Amino acid sequence: MKPDFVDFHAHLDLYPDLEAAIRTCEISKTATLAVTTTPQAFARNKELAKDSAFVRVALGLHPQLVADRASEIALFERLLPQTRYVGEVGLDASPRFYGSFEMQKEVFGKILDLCADAGDKVLSIHSVRCAKHVLDMVESRLPSERGKVVLHWFTGSASELRRAVDLGCYFSINERMFGSPKVDVVLKAIPSDRLLTETDGPFVERDGLPIQPGDVVKVVELLAARSGRTYAETQRLLTQNLMSLVT
Ligand code: MN
pLDDT at 149: 98
pTM here is: 0.97
CA of 11 to the centre of ligand 1 (A): 7
Ligand 1 centroid to Cα of residue 177, in Å, is 13
pLDDT at 169: 98
CA of 211 relative to ligand 1 center, distance in Å: 13
pLDDT tens digits, 39-85:
999 999 999 999 999 999 999 999 999 999 999 999 999 999 999 99
Residue 124 Cα to ligand 1 midpoint, Å, equals 9
**Do the strands 121-128 and 147-152 form a parallel or antiparallel pair, or are they unpaired?**
parallel
Q: How far apart are CA 209 and CA 83, in angstroms?
A: 31
Where do the H-state alpha helices sit in the chain?
A: 18-27, 42-48, 66-69, 73-79, 101-118, 131-141, 158-166, 182-189, 217-227, 231-246
Q: What is the pLDDT of residue 185?
A: 87
Compute the distance from residue 152 Cα to the ligand 1 centre, in Å. Answer: 8
- The type of residue at 157 is S
pLDDT, tens digit, 9 for 90 and up, residues 119-134: 999 999 999 999 999 9
Rounded to the nearest whole angstrom, what is the distance from the C-alpha of residue 132 to the centroid of ligand 1?
A: 19
Positions in the chain whose pLDDT score sits under 50: none
pLDDT at 1: 84
Interval between CA 128 and ligand 1 midpoint (Å): 11
DSSP annotation of 59 reads B
